[in-house]
Structure 1
């Protein structure tokens, strides 16, 4: 069978080479090839090269001559890296590298792939992505399922044309706040990671329609999450806070002198007090700290570093297709004082430590 497969491969290559500049497509799927054919350099007009389901461990240098190639499929081979030769494929639009042993990405490999719209790196051994991934400006589809990623670089969030992002079955613990920059993102898959908290920036993704975060360790969602214009939302397998109120004592508010002063200054700044607004410019460190102030979810007054973390339970939108048994969504909100806490609505609770 091996000999027969080799003969068929050779015949297909001979036929392709006879076509010369007229040959646009080569498909050598599952031919048990261990090497890429070096004769590829004689096919300068090639558009599609399908070499999936083989035993190829390295690409040949001649691959870099295929500057008209728009689709390259090297899925289910034995590659250990995303090779540097790919950067010369300046017309490439779709790149499939799934099911290899890829654990590294050659420096500069993304530089020449400015037309790439689809990248599939599923089922590899990547532990990280280089910052250079942000150079793939035209990318609309990125899938890195079943790898070993522990984080994603914030530069990935500069891919403003990205429509789908698949990061299932990795080891991610968090998502960067910069995800808010993916303004065109429509589908986000984060199944089976170790994510504890979703960033506030996620709530700014106005075009997001599908979010799947099943199988993480999320307990609570950022404020405003319920306003996302989703069509599908799946979160089974997360230890979400449940509405099981208990009664506890509420201590008096005792703030530090620093917090009292900060709240006083913040209120004056909101009133556009000329004296404070002019004076703060001479204290850059204080200005930088005050810039991190937040507002109470109830009274809307500012605070700096002391607050009550609470959970507000809201019903999911009727427009969402959701996980079974999801009746209430727990949202994280911050209150500035116990005084505000005593005036809260009936669906707002303090978070008890068990």
Structure 2
């Protein structure tokens, strides 16, 4: 819906306004209240239409004064049907106006004009104009244009999908349709995200694959409806922390970052907790986010052909349908060669950090120095579920990926479905218990 020719509604005296011709796009159904008298029913389906308020001269009456009418134009009837407005509106039904719905009941003819799928703000303005026209007060002081048939472009359903796969088709002088829900711009050699795309508030899928984009603006996160973001085959080196802290936390379900130049993802990446499908293939990743286990809704993960030496400890918390880690530079683990960072006795910082996590005490930059908050965000967890900060034993062990995923793509050409995973132990006792179980399995 839109108000063409920019509606001017300005207060003059009391409730009176100065109006230019107003046009509202929405779905309209005109229902005759006489149908039940003849044993008939309305068809119950609206048509895309343009409603206009303006002047109408009765050509059958010489020198007749102009009257204000409501004009409803559809694709089948572009000339439209006119309805007198002055003292001709019996009632307004506006209970669902905040959902873009309203009904105008006319006296003559006895019809109900049912409006649906209208822009809420524009609909409210339009109804205000109808009320003024109905009152007819100081009507001569309201400058309105003459009614004219609507253009085809005004009546057509707003465009929801646009696919551009050639640079010559890329719009340079015109904006993207405001109503777009799916936008694909590929093979256009874009080096940055066009800011005009970020004004498309209804956008659900944005596909910018096969371009030359190096950086993503944080304001992509303002696209509150965005559930799919495809950035396959670009030059991305960084995934912004700003995106991780945006409204994408509640909307983004599909993210394709494959065939880029990413070496790492920020810790905050795991705040995108609505993610279901994540594609990271063919990057230069040296690690996955340490808290990846927080992505509790993640079901499909592909990170093939990267440079991962091992998986983070939290990886074993995932519950996947499909995982593909083929072609990474996985290390060969040796649980008998641990890296020991135990501090005996433990420092006061270690004791305080463990207690903060164990007892779920609140912390953050507003309570603690920023570097301490970051340390707590990165705290490790022992298999016994106790936390450890700087005092731990680190060891790399094999994880059978079938433990975290229903379907597993082979890790290498040798048919393996195991991948090394980094584990931490809070004490020698926990590590000893692990070794006992390890020896029992390998006897």
**Aligned match for 2:208, one of 121, 141, 146:** 121
Give the drift of 1:186: 1.4
Give the drift of 1:307: 3.1
Q: 1:148 to 1:347 in 2, by over 3 A?
A: farther
Any idea what SS the aligned residue of 2:219 has?
A: helix
Any idea what SS the aligned residue of 1:104 has?
A: coil
Instruction: Report the number of matched residues.
Output: 278
Q: 1:230 to 1:112 in 2, by over 3 A?
A: same
Preserved contact between residue 110 and residue 132 of structure 1 (Cα < 8 Å)? no
Give the drift of 1:311: 1.8
In the other structure, the counterpart of 1:317 is 402
Q: Please give the root-mean-square deviation of Cα atoms over the aligned residues, in Å.
A: 3.7
In structure 2, C-alpha distance between the alignment counterparts of 1:247 and 1:217, rounded to whole Å: 22
Structure 2: state its 5+ residue gaps. Answer: 1-72, 77-150, 362-366
In the other structure, the counterpart of 2:181 is 93
**Aligned match for 1:146, one of 212, 233, 236:** 233
In structure 2, C-alpha distance between the alignment counterparts of 1:183 and 1:347, rounded to whole Å: 34
- TM-score, normalization by structure 1: 0.66
In structure 2, C-alpha distance between the alignment counterparts of 1:230 and 1:270, rounded to whole Å: 27
Q: 1:141 to 1:69 in 2, by over 3 A?
A: same
Give the drift of 1:269: 6.2
Give the drift of 1:225: 1.5
In structure 1, C-alpha distance between the alignment counterparts of 2:423 and 2:260, rounded to whole Å: 29
Preserved contact between residue 83 and residue 105 of structure 1 (Cα < 8 Å)? no
> Is residue 321 of structure 2 the alignment partner of residue 234 of structure 1?
no
Preserved contact between residue 309 and residue 335 of structure 1 (Cα < 8 Å)? yes
Any idea what SS the aligned residue of 2:268 has?
A: helix
Structure 1: state its 5+ residue gaps. Answer: 1-19, 24-40, 48-67, 278-282, 350-354
Q: Deviations over 1:149-207 (max 9, x none)?
A: 00111233331222211111000111122232322221111110011111133212222
In structure 1, C-alpha distance between the alignment counterparts of 2:232 and 2:378, rounded to whole Å: 37
In the other structure, the counterpart of 1:199 is 289
Larger strand proportion, structure 1 or 2?
2
In structure 2, C-alpha distance between the alignment counterparts of 1:271 and 1:188, rounded to whole Å: 31
Any idea what SS the aligned residue of 2:390 has?
A: coil
Within 5 Å, give how 1:1-354 maps onto structure 2: 22=75, 43-47=153-157, 68-78=158-168, 86=175, 89-107=177-195, 109-157=196-244, 158=246, 159=248, 160-244=250-334, 260-266=347-353, 284-285=368-369, 288=372, 291=376, 294=379, 297-298=382-383, 302-317=387-402, 319-324=405-410, 325-338=415-428, 340-345=430-435
Q: 1:210 to 1:83 in 2, by over 3 A?
A: farther
Q: 1:348 to 1:91 in 2, by over 3 A?
A: farther
Preserved contact between residue 79 and residue 102 of structure 1 (Cα < 8 Å)? no
